[in-house]
Amino acid sequence: MKKFDVVVIGGSAAGIAAAITCRRHYPNKSILIIRKEDQVPIPCGIPYIYGTLGGPEKNLMPDASLQNNQIELLVGIVAEIDRAGKTVGMEDGERVVYDKLVLAAGSEPIILPIPGVDKDNVFAVHKNVPYLKKLLDKVNSSSDIVVVGGGFIGVEFADECNKGRDVKISIVEMLPRCLMLAFDDELCETAEGIQRESGIDILTSEKVVEFTGDGAVSGVRLDSDKQLRADMVILGIGAVANTELAKNAGLELGPTRGVKVNRYMRTNDEHIFACGDCAEKFSFFDGAPSGLKLASEATKEARIAGANLFSTRRMNCGVIGVFSTALGETAFAHAGLSQRCAIDKGYDVVIGEAQAPNRHPGGMPGMAPMKVKLVFERGTGIILGGQTMGAKSGGELINAISACIHQRMTADDIAMFPMGTHPALTASPIVYQLTNAAEMAIKAVSMSRI
């Protein structure tokens, strides 16, 4: 029987990051990753297979990081966890002994029980290379594609499938706007505008009631009774934690049905940790359960779990929720609570917004406008959230905003932010979006007192 100090179940973002972190903190431990896939797709890169990248083989996690960190790999399916014996049983009968076990089993796409969902050519986004290849073949041979769900996955899939193809794409979203769980209205509207301009049809406040067709899907019926032609359907309506193994092993689950963990990423078995999409999460702001599934959050949790395996070193602050996307040349990014979400949570908010070119003067090459919106709690001035829209460097600026949120900085702190600026890289220091958005919130408060 093979024996390892650490066994990690799952070889995607959380599993790899947990194993590498363990190696860095505990140089002498033996580490095994067990994964079911021969090749692992980069999760956030999956939509880009269908346009920018051109194939699933161009979107693979490199295994070099495992070899470089002396992490062994076993490809196979785990059948069960024997907590009493501290072993993992594989489907083929092999058993592996562990001292510490990390569950990084990820998530599976949600498949709603809509009539006809089991028809051919109705695809979910399974993180599986042969399946994603099949999906690509079908995209290439389709004239009408219906994407169900206007969240990140749905919007990115629609945008990518539209690239270089003569194809009619429709997005069906239940909520009044696409990306509504992520962004405030003005960002959603801009994103929808970009998509519509590129020819994508967006149907919001619409629900799918049936996938029609003989054997293979040929149409989608909405509850408004609209009918859409469809050679294929792509479901992008979220994901659920993979908890089968954990449940069968008697591990507790949390309120969003993820594996329950404490702030050290430990389950109710002191030798078993969980992190990433399969693990239960809570909000940084109010501790409320969170179902958010992000690769970046997964690796953050993995860096906590991996460091805590043999000695408690790190504590989880909860989910701030930092994410970004790009449609054409326009980047959208978000951290913390949107204005809508903050109000829903009962905060009295003040908003500050600032827009400026990301170069100075504006004639410098690479100029793109960028807007920053910040959300503050009125009484304390503490930042609750931020959004950027425009230049691609927003993908990094959102991380400066994330640091401000994490450190509970106030609008005044941010107005005095010790930023660096440069003509070829950022906005001018006078109009720098982050500091000026904070100032505009302060101004709004002082004007309201007059």
Map the footprint of its own copies across residues 382-441, applying CB under 8 A. 392-400, 402-407, 409, 412, 415-426, 428-432, 434-435, 439-440
Whether residue 361 has a cis bond before it, omega within 30° of 0: yes
Binding characters for its own copies, 89-128, by CB under 8 A (x = yes): ----------------------------------------
What's the token pair of residue 186? 């003005």
Concatenated DSSP letters of 211-231: EESSSB--EEEETT--EEE-S
Distance CA 240, CA 54 (A): 27
Residues of span 277-316 touching its own copies by CB under 8 A:
284, 294-300, 303-304, 307, 313-314, 316
Distance CA 10, CA 305 (A): 14
Q: How far is CA 251 from CA 271, 278, 292, 316, 345, in A?
A: 11, 12, 21, 20, 31
Residue closer to its own copies by CB (options 28, 214) is: 28
Residue closer to its own copies by CB (options 309, 434) is: 434
Residues of span 62-81 touching its own copies by CB under 8 A:
65
With CB under 8 A as the rule, give the number of residues binding its own copies: 95
Residue closer to its own copies by CB (options 142, 435) is: 435
Residues of span 226-285 touching its own copies by CB under 8 A:
284
Nearest distance from C-beta of residue 59 to its own copies, angstroms:
5
154, 110 Cβ separation under 8 angstroms: no
Nearest distance from C-beta of residue 416 to its own copies, angstroms:
6
Nearest distance from C-beta of residue 383 to its own copies, angstroms:
11
Which window, 2-10, 57-65, 114-122, 208-216, contacts its own copies (CB under 8 A)?
A: 57-65
Residue closer to its own copies by CB (options 65, 204) is: 65
Nearest distance from C-beta of residue 126 to its own copies, angstroms:
18
Residue closer to its own copies by CB (options 222, 265) is: 265
H helices of 198-336, where? 244-248, 295-308
The residue among 344, 413, 418 whose CA lies nearest residue 374 is 413
H helices of 141-256, where? 152-161, 185-197, 244-248
Nearest distance from C-beta of residue 111 to its own copies, angstroms:
25
Q: What element of type H or E holds 402?
A: helix 394-406
Residues of span 142-161 touching its own copies by CB under 8 A:
none
- 3-class SS of residue 8: strand
Residues of span 353-372 touching its own copies by CB under 8 A:
360-361, 363-366
Nearest distance from C-beta of residue 314 to its own copies, angstroms:
6
User: How would you class 210 by CB atoms within 10 Å of its CB: exposed for 0-12, middle for 13-18, buried for 19 or more?
Assistant: middle
Residue closer to its own copies by CB (options 178, 304) is: 304
Q: Which residues contact 55 (CB under 8 A, 6 or more apart)?
A: 49, 133, 136
Residue closer to its own copies by CB (options 86, 371) is: 371
Nearest distance from C-beta of residue 411 to its own copies, angstroms:
11
Torsion angle (degrees, nearest 10) of CA 12, 17, 20, 24? 180
Nearest distance from C-beta of residue 437 to its own copies, angstroms:
12
Number of Cβ within 10 Å of residue 158's Cβ equals: 28
Residue with tokens 């970009």: 194
Residues of span 311-350 touching its own copies by CB under 8 A:
313-314, 316-317, 319-320, 322-326, 331, 333-335
Considering only residues 30, 39, 52, 204, which one is a binding residue for its own copies as defined by CB under 8 A?
52
Which window, 20-28, 130-138, 187-195, 342-350, contacts its own copies (CB under 8 A)?
A: 20-28
User: How would you class 344 by CB atoms within 10 Å of its CB: exposed for 0-12, middle for 13-18, buried for 19 or more?
Assistant: exposed
Nearest distance from C-beta of residue 304 to its own copies, angstroms:
6
Nearest distance from C-beta of residue 350 to its own copies, angstroms:
13
Longest CA–CA span in the chain (Å) reads 76
